[in-house]
Structure 1
Amino acid sequence: MAHFPRAAALLFAVPLLVSCSTSSPQGVQHLTVQIEETLPFDATSFTQGLELGPDGTLYVGTGMEGSSRVYRTTLDGRELASQDLEPEFFGEGITLVRDALWQLTWQNNTAIKRNAETLEEISRTTFDGEGWGLCSRPDAGEVIFSDGTSELRRMDPDTLAERERFVVTLDGTPVDGLNELECVGDDIYANIFTTTDIVRIDAATGKVEAVIDASLVPNNATPDPNHVLNGIAHIDGNEFYITGKRWPDMYRVTFVPDLSRG
């Protein structure tokens, strides 16, 4: 999502929504992050979207008016393609759909469809409200879209036309601040804006199945309230890459039980 002033209230409200006892009546799991590897990352990237391509290259969508772009890079930082957005656009989430990549903008009501290899623009479409995160569910034939609220939208993967919306809940309470997304099978992983929490959501019901505490992951970005955890990309099995806005590092991690919660 965008910069900090837009959601100052969430900084205090959201952690209350995702902090519950280990004996949740719905059986919500409490996990933490185990770092398997630390990789270099572009510290100038105000990361809004992160995706791993089938060829092992990394796609990064960045924000801020005047400096938003999307680029494709090797894991060791060799840039393969890059496209800038118009100066008035604030880039947001990205996702791959076959040989194309969708990129959202924050408050410009515009989504851009790009060639997945060159990142050159193919077409544009519009949507209502704000754009935050995107992830693709190829087996379900849909793209999931977040707008910073507790709602997620099901979208057509080819046109990004909206099909329906559903509310994400934790023990019956709506979870606000759903931001960068990653779809893995029947699950949706979502960064919670301004926090170090990631939630795993049942894509069919919208219920949170797990809360992942990523607070132990080092944030080595320059001190700034904007430089929060944001970016999750599935690798394989239980392995993911995670990073943040203007973070100089990206981490290969697994999600494991949080033993500190008893």
Structure 2
Amino acid sequence: MKPFAQEPALTERVRDAILGAIVDGTFRTGERLAQEDLAQRLGVSRQPVSHALNLLKEQGILVELGRKGLTVAPIEAERLHQLYAVRGRMDALAAGLAARRVKAGDAPADILREIEGLIAEQNDPKRAGGLARWVETDVAFHIAIYRLSANPVIEEMARPQWVHFRRSMQASLEQPETHGPVWKQHKAIFSAIRAGDPVAAERLALEHAEHAADRTSAWLKAGEKKRGGLQK
């Protein structure tokens, strides 16, 4: 008999591998995700692949592709705005709590150094890296702020939606001119946290999320309009 612990763990690893391929652009909307192909690529049986695909479908990350199976769900501008509306409030809460910890002298030095390192890297053109690294450091910055807040519920609530945010970050950061402004905003948020100013930290974090929503939604709507015109 197969131990119960192995199947869930393997399914999670397969799911994470598929998610990674979606985020880095390997799998795109309209491309069929075939169980046989995925199983062969990952060197596993079809069962954990089937379970992983079902989990991703339940999360809204995959959708039906007619009778052909599943494909990556499109990023819809309206849905993205809804997600950012919630995330903006969570980011603001996290930034305010983090600033209060700094003011009280309770902020862990290792997390502060981590954030400083990310900001220094992404404000140095020679170290910033390419698109994949931009997305990775952007996610790392926000998760570090969550950890600095000392409220684990914030990260727990945000975690299921990060795949959608990572995809939106990728779509936005594919336009190189957005990278610099994004990290200037990150630096301003962290400066307010470092100064122990929760009011400014909350305001800047909320504005950052709102700017991201507006910028990415506009880009997505332009793409939707363009595709609609081509279909006529």
TM-score bracket, shorter-length normalisation: under 0.3
Q: Which has the higher helix share?
A: 2
Q: Which has the higher strand share?
A: 1
Q: Kindly name which structure, 1 or 2, has the bigger radius of gyration based on alpha carbons.
A: 2
Q: Output the TM-score relative to the length of structure 1.
A: 0.19
